Structure 1
Amino acid sequence: METMTENNKEVVRRFNREVIAEGNPESFNELMDQHFINRSAPAGMNNGPQGMNYFFNQILRPAMPDIKVTIHHQVAEDDLVTTRKTISGTHTGSLLGIAPSNQAISIDVIDMVRVKDGKYFEHWGITSLPEVLANLQK
Structure 2
Amino acid sequence: MMETMTENNKAVVRRFNEEVIAQGNLQSFYELMDEEFVNRSAPEGMSNGADGMIYFFNEILRPAMPDIQVTIHQQVAEGDLVTTRKTISGTQTGALLGIPATGRAVNIDVIDIVRVKDGRYFEHWGITTLSDVMSQLQN
Q: TM-score, normalised by structure 1?
A: 0.98
Match of 2:80 in 1: 79
Q: Does 1:9 align with 2:7?
A: no
Q: Offset of 1:113 from its aligned partner?
A: 0.1
1:116-131 to 2 correspondences below 5 Å: 116-131=117-132
- What letter corresponds to residue 47 of structure 1 in structure 2? N
Q: State how far apart, in whole Å, the 2-side matches of 1:71 and 1:51 are.
A: 23
- What letter corresponds to residue 118 of structure 1 in structure 2? G
Q: State how far apart, in whole Å, the 2-side matches of 1:67 and 1:98 are.
A: 17
Q: State how far apart, in whole Å, the 2-side matches of 1:131 and 1:71 are.
A: 20
1:13-52 to 2 correspondences below 5 Å: 13-52=14-53
Q: Offset of 1:6 from its aligned partner?
A: 0.2
Give the 3-state SS of the residue equivalent to 2:12 in structure 1: helix
Ranges in structure 2 where 5+ consecutive residues have no aligned partner: none
Q: Offset of 1:28 from its aligned partner?
A: 0.2
Match of 2:66 in 1: 65
Q: State how far apart, in whole Å, the 2-side matches of 1:41 and 1:102 are.
A: 27
Q: Offset of 1:130 from its aligned partner?
A: 0.1
The list of structure 1 runs, each at least 4 consecutive aligned residues, that deviate by more than 3 angstroms after superposition, is none
Q: State how far apart, in whole Å, the 1-side matches of 2:126 and 2:108 are.
A: 12
Report percent identity of matched pairs.
74
Aligned residues, how many? 138
Please, what is the CA RMSD of the aligned residues? 0.9
Q: Offset of 1:43 from its aligned partner?
A: 1.0
List per-residue Cα deviations over 1:67-92 (Å, max 9, x = no partner).
00000000000000000000000000
- What letter corresponds to residue 37 of structure 1 in structure 2? V
Q: State how far apart, in whole Å, the 1-side matches of 2:19 and 2:106 are.
A: 20
